[in-house]
Amino acid sequence: MNFSENLQSNEHLHQEIGILRQRIADLESGNKPTTYANFLFENSGETILIIDPYTMKILDANPNAARRLGYSQADLRQMSLDEIEMPRSPDINDAETSWQSTTSGTFFYEGQYRHKDGSLIPMEVSSRLVFLEGRDVLINFVRNIRWRKEAEMALRLVNDSLEQQVRQQTAELLVEKDKLETILGSIAEGVAMTDPEKKIVYMNHAFMQMTNYRLAEAQTLTIDQFFDCSVRDRQAQAAAFAKGVAWSGEVIGIRQDGNLYPAVLTVVPMLDADGRLTGYVTSHQDISRFKALDKAQYSFITNVSHQLRTPLTNIKLYTQLLEENFDTQKAPHYLGVLNEQARRLEHLVQDILEMASMESSHLVLNLQPVNMAEMIFQMTDTYQTRAAAKNQTLSCAFHNEIPSIKADAPRLRQAIVELLDNAFAYTPPKGSISIDVEALTARNRQWVTVAVRDDGPGILP
């Protein structure tokens, strides 16, 4: 039965109930029932039972009741209501139906009637107590609501299925959310999400560390307040966002305490299926370390250029002097200077090649046992002449027994020579230079430390 059929059935039922109520009123007033009312009772499409309210014996039943329940009318008149109506469990709607009974005189309830074949039929009953021919009787209008119960069950199953799907999808979304937060929390880049007005709604741990903001504090700000961009960059961002594409560039990050840091910022507009803006996703990286590396590289290149220029200038100068004085007594001196400057140039080039090799991870070390104490003694003796020439003092101290170590001896010697050359270069006359060697244990490993100290001006932090 579809909705329109159900509506028509309800209207028809209400019409029949109205006519039967008129019949009841006639009976209560002592008037004879009309022929039309009798006709309706016999031919009604609804099940109608007339019952003794004290014994619950069925006094009369219309033909439709007999057809619906599988009994003859004569059989039904010999039965009690308890034989066909199943006991009802307390219902939460009983209070409401009792109220309806006291106000309208009709008691409404739902129950089950047993068919002659034993099957149960869901029924909706409206029961009214009337006075008929000197006695009280119950008139029950019974309607088969199987289709409604089946529809309710189907709706309940659909609802349960939908609830299960919602719970499952919610659980899956929570799992995906946890995965996403784990991923975002583990990456080094600072990630933030905003609404269409660029107000912060989420930021990962890296973003908090870079900016020193907590999420609750950041949610009162827009993403633009975290970065200082040029007017040209702002215009480029607006043009990119108008096309629905990302923008990336170098900006200045602003920490909570006002400190600045260089950063590479990428901003991606988020669009829904209809192309409407729903927010922005931003990621940025602190490039202070790379800027420092660039600065160090520039300083290195500048220093190397200066270091290379000195021997090259000397080579050019003494080559010219040698050409002009080739047959004089000064020629051997000029050749000696040229050889010294060539060796110096070779040393610089070799240092550059070794640094490039270390940066490219192609440096191969030849690790062999090295007597550290003996190496330091030899180097100290070698540099004593240089110290005496500059009126400087060079000393060496071993603070405990120094074990042999595994090392690449030439490269280790080269590293210590660089430290000593730097110390001699910056220590004034009558100054002192010391080499301290100590064996110690740290992090469950044995180490040997070599410290070169001098009276030079040092390096500003």
The mean per-residue pLDDT over the stretch 177-182 comes to 75
Helix axes of 372-389 and 409-426: crossing angle, nearest 10 degrees: 30
Give the helix/strand (H/E) hosting 191. strand 190-194
Both tokens assigned to 124 = 């909706």
Confidence of residue 1 (pLDDT cuts 50, 70, 90): very low
SS (H, E, C) 350-401: HHHHHHHHHHCCCCCCCCEEECHHHHHHHHHHHHHHHHHHCCCEEEEEECCC
Record the pTM: 0.46
Instruction: Count other Cβ atoms within 10 Å, centred on residue 89.
Output: 6
pLDDT at 29 over 70: no
By DSSP bridging, strand 260-271 and strand 247-254 are: antiparallel
pLDDT at 3: 46
Contact 253, 206 (CB under 8 A): no
How many Cα neighbours within 13 Å face the side chain of 351? 16
Q: How many Å apart are CA 264 and CA 287, to the nearest integer?
A: 7
Of 122-131, 211-220, 250-259, 323-332, where does mean pLDDT reach its minimum?
323-332
pLDDT, one tens digit per residue, over 246-256 is 999 999 999 99
Average pLDDT over residues 119-139: 87
Mean pLDDT of the chain: 82
Complete domains list, the chain, with CATH: 3-144 (3.30.450.20), 187-286 (3.30.450.20), 291-359 (1.10.287.130), 368-454 (3.30.565.10)
Q: pLDDT tens across 401-456, in order?
A: 888 888 888 888 888 888 888 888 888 888 999 999 998 888 788 888 999 998 87
| b (16+ CB within 10 A) / e for 193-214 | bbeeebebebbbebbbebbebe
